Amino acid sequence: MESVKKGSWSRLLIFFIFYLMLYLIVGSVIAQLFGVPHNLLTITTQTLVIGYGLIFGHVIINRKISFIPNKSQVLRSFPLFLFTLVPMVTDLLFSSQNRMNFPEFSKALPSAIFAGVSEELILRGIILVALINLFRDRRYSNLISINLSSMVFALLHLLNLFSSSSSFTMTVGQVIYAYMLGVFLSVLFISSGSLLMPIISHILIDSTAFLEHDLPMSNLVLFILMYGLIPMVAALILKKEELLQNFNQKNQP
């Protein structure tokens, strides 16, 4: 992987500021001008974010964004990927209303797809890689970068405070689990060397979480355990040695 040029901190900050503007302001303007329904507005905003990332992302990380892993990378990261299924299996086994069915899942899937692609592209494919490059001369650059990018991912969920459907307590829970989930998805990205598996994992998890199902959503501790702590601990245990490697050398094209 090519090393980034000096001044990358400022470029990364500008990139992130424009991302927030696009995500928050442009979406609101579109809604006001055209009266776009909430679901369609979310998809429209995420589409704009995806386009923004694809156009400008390579400038920030100084390389092409990798979406497709090779066979050996898939096999290496597949055991970790299986922990994506923990929330879905738990819902099927323990939800009293068993809302984890195909009609409910299919309703949540479109929003989950666009959110999964846009957030993984920006947070893992661009910001995480840029941070690893910026910390490349430090020991444990992967761990530092994973923590910082996961904090950004978590803090973005504070925006849910402005949603009438999310209480303060639930938003705090989402921030905590988002950090843990961010660590899991970051490790999955580093292990697989591409965005495909984190995107699929993110889509599956969001499709389940968007259902606001009975037991896990009403029990905040269980929600955080299912969606955050278990996947994060699995990632740190299964991929401990890989996290201590240099991502740039490991995934050099």
Read off the pLDDT of each residue in 55-72 and give the average, rounded to a whole number. Answer: 86
- Cα of first residue to Cα of last residue in the chain, in angstroms, is 7
pTM of the model: 0.87
Q: What's the one-letter identity of residue 143?
A: L
Collapsing DSSP to helix, strand or coil, 168 comes out as helix
Tell me the pLDDT tens digit for each residue of 196-206: 999 999 998 88
Tell me the pLDDT tens digit for each residue of 128-145: 999 998 988 888 889 999
Tell me the pLDDT tens digit for each residue of 237-252: 998 887 776 555 555 4
Query: What does the alpha-carbon distance between residue 18 and residue 155 come to, in Å, rounded to a whole number?
Result: 17
Query: What does the alpha-carbon distance between residue 209 and residue 98 come to, in Å, rounded to a whole number?
Result: 13
Provide the b/e sequence for 32-49 (b: ≥16 CB within 10 Å). Answer: eeeebeeeebbbbbbebb
For the record, the structure tokens of 118 come out as 């846009």
Collapsing DSSP to helix, strand or coil, 115 comes out as helix
Query: What does the alpha-carbon distance between residue 16 and residue 196 come to, in Å, rounded to a whole number?
Result: 22
What pLDDT, on the 0 to 100 scale, is given for residue 28? 67
Tell me the pLDDT tens digit for each residue of 80-109: 999 998 877 776 676 655 555 666 667 778
What pLDDT, on the 0 to 100 scale, is given for residue 6? 44
